[in-house]
Amino acid sequence: MQLHTDIPLKNYTTMRLGGNARFMTDIHSVDELASLCQHAAEHQLPIFVLGGGSNTIVRDAGFAGIVARNRIMGYDIIDDQPGASTIRVGAGENWDETVKRTVDAGLSGIEALSAIPGTVGASPVQNIGAYGQEVADTIMSVDAYDMHQSQLVTLDNEACGFAYRHSIFRGDQAGRYCIVSVTFQLSKSSPQPPFYAAVETYFAEHNVTLFTPAAVREAVTDIRKNKLPDPAELPNAGSFFKNAIIDDWLYRELIEQYPDMPSYDMPEHRHKIPTGWLIEQTGLRGQTLHGMRIHDKNALVLINESASSYEDLKNAREAIKDAVRDKFRIDIEQEPLEL
């Protein structure tokens, strides 16, 4: 394990902003991780675990500790039954390549999460979801190194505290665990309609009648390609805002005022409102604020066109949040983590 010093984090995150890491290293095994945690504790240095950098925003001050890039690999079938397979995947594995591997094996459960950038270890952190699927629905357990207790632990699905774009790993236990591997249980059955609206439309337009994991993956990949900018070409962090979850009383008031407002029913008499739609209604879609352009095809995406600092991003974010709050009385939340 080698510690590199004063590393520009903008080179390792897809938004291409932010300051330097005091130290950076790559972790390839649990033993390396344990040694790193011991070193950090002895020198009173915080650790931040970085995957692909597609869901991390770095402040201008950078990080005064150790940024550890998770490169722990592995893909193992640990149980194979007639109707399902259980696989354990290293946290450093590429997420989309892992989805492709499961789809090629005829497994279903994460095919709608195709073309999402990042690593497998990052998937439980924010409970990634898209086109009707959430990764939490397939996760059996997460193996992680507990940096408080200096030992490897296994957290079952319930212990991960999954909720909409949330888990304990970005909540009250943020900074405690370094995910080593994720165990998924995937079905051998074909996905069944009804599908997410955009996928249904794609199938109808392309005359797809055989519903397989591969068909869903192809549809989602095509949809995302046309809707989301490639971060390698246009710096962005994917969906920058979470969809809004509002109480029933506010929903009823807003639907009277905006009868065409799209919504999805949620537990406990709450409703999910697409934040992209909310931003569009403010008239900001396609506009550039403080060097950040609101994508004209998907208002959830902020593209770093000419921003030179985190402060630029912050100002653009606050302007968008203020506009939505002023029009709808809804506080929208940032999705990427901040370092």
Enzyme catalytic residues: 165, 239, 335
Counting beta carbons within 10 angstroms of the beta carbon of residue 52, is it exposed (0 to 12), middle (13 to 18) or buried (19 or more)?
Answer: buried
- 88 Cβ contact partners less than 8 Å away, ≥ 6 residues apart: 74, 75, 76, 78, 143, 181, 182, 183, 184
Q: In this structure, are residues 116 and 128 in contact, taking their beta carbons and an 8 Å threshold? A: yes
Alpha-helical runs (H) found in 209-309: 213-227, 248-257, 275-281
CA distance 251 to 269: 10
CA dihedral 130, 164, 296, 317 (to 10 degrees): -150
CA distance 336 to 53: 10
